[in-house]
Every structure is written in C-alpha cells, then in structure tokens.
C-alpha cells in the first residue's frame, strides 16, 4: 500500500504539471489536494518506511539480544504472506559453530584433521612450537637462577 501511494503521488505530480501547462482552472484545488496527500505520505513514513514496517522494525529491535542477534536501523523489512514480516538481522556465529579456526587472523576451516582446541593444523603447530620455546626458556632461566651447590663437606674418619 505504501508503494501504491507513492506511485499515485508521482502520477499526480506529473498530471498536475501537465494540467498547469494547459491552463486548467481547478489546478489550484488539485495542487492543494496533492500537497495534502504528500504531507500525509510524509507523516506515515519514518525514514522512508510505512507505519507497519516501522512497527516491525521497532519490535525486532526491542527483541534483539546484543552480541547474538542485532537489528540495524536500516534493516530490510519483508512482509510475509502470513501475518508478520521478516526483519533483516545480524546473527552472531562462533568460530566453533562455523567449524573454522578461532585464531583472529586465520579462520581456516577445521576440516584438515590436524588441528586441536579450535585451531587449524597450522595454528596448532605454531602455538605448540611457541609453547615449547616458552617452556625451554623458563627451564633455562630457572637453571641459571638456581645457586650452584657445593659439594657437602664430609668428615673423614680416621681410626
């Protein structure tokens, strides 16, 4: 209905322009009626939306779950054949649910069979290598920090 009203207003503007050129006298009354229709159209629309679209958007935004399902102000509204409408939304999908590596700059699919703990094979190998180097450095630092033991002095027994 919203689009029908817009098409009617456009056609009316075109008709009004043509009638003005012909010198038709009731054109002023037509202009007043057309301006009223345009004002009504503008009052119905919020950011170019029909009242029902604005209501669906508002309901969707009130029911969003931040960080999981979010609805933008410019979401697309698609009325359904049943009472209701589809509202475009952002749905958060974890790397685990998607089956991809959870390293920030990787996101490689985990179907290579080489990875573990949410990491692909390459990232898992890299992390394992870094952990081994870290542990080796800690052991080395611990050995250096440990005081050297002197041999215990034993009394020799002479009989």
At 95-123, the pLDDT tens digits run 888 888 888 888 888 887 777 778 888 88
Percent with pLDDT over 70 in the chain: 68
Average pLDDT over residues 112-139: 85
What pLDDT does 1 receive?
46
Please write the tens of the pLDDT for every residue from 63-91: 888 888 999 888 889 888 888 999 999 99
What pLDDT does 73 receive?
84
Name which residue leads in pLDDT, 107 or 128. Answer: 128
Name which residue leads in pLDDT, 29 or 4. Answer: 29
- Asked if residue 147 has pLDDT above 80, the reply is no
CA dist., res. 116 & res. 110, Å (int): 9
> At 42, is the pLDDT very low, low, confident or very high (cuts 50, 70, 90)?
low
> At 48, is the pLDDT very low, low, confident or very high (cuts 50, 70, 90)?
low
Domain boundaries, the chain: 1-44, 51-92, 95-145
What pLDDT does 156 receive?
64
CA dist., res. 146 & res. 140, Å (int): 10
Confirm if 89 and 73 have CB atoms less than 8 A apart: no
What pLDDT does 46 receive?
47
CA dist., res. 16 & res. 33, Å (int): 11
């Amino acid at each position: 209905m919203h689009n029908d009203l817009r098409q009617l207003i456009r056609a009316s503007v075109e008709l009004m322009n043509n009638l003005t050129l012909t010198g038709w006298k009731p054109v002023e009354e037509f202009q007043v009626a057309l301006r009223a229709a345009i004002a009504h159209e503008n009052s119905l629309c919020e950011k170019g939306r029909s009242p029902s679209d604005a209501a669906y958007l508002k309901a969707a935004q009130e029911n969003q779950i931040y960080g999981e399902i979010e609805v933008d102000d410019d979401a697309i509204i698609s009325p359904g054949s049943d009472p209701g409408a589809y509202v475009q939304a952002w749905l958060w999908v974890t790397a685990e649910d998607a089956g991809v590596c959870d390293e920030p700059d990787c996101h490689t699919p985990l179907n290579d069979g080489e990875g573990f703990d949410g990491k692909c094979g390459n990232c898992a190998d890299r992390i394992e290598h870094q952990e081994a180097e870290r542990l080796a450095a800690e052991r080395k630092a611990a050995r250096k920090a440990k005081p050297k033991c002197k041999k215990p002095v034993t009394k020799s027994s002479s009989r």
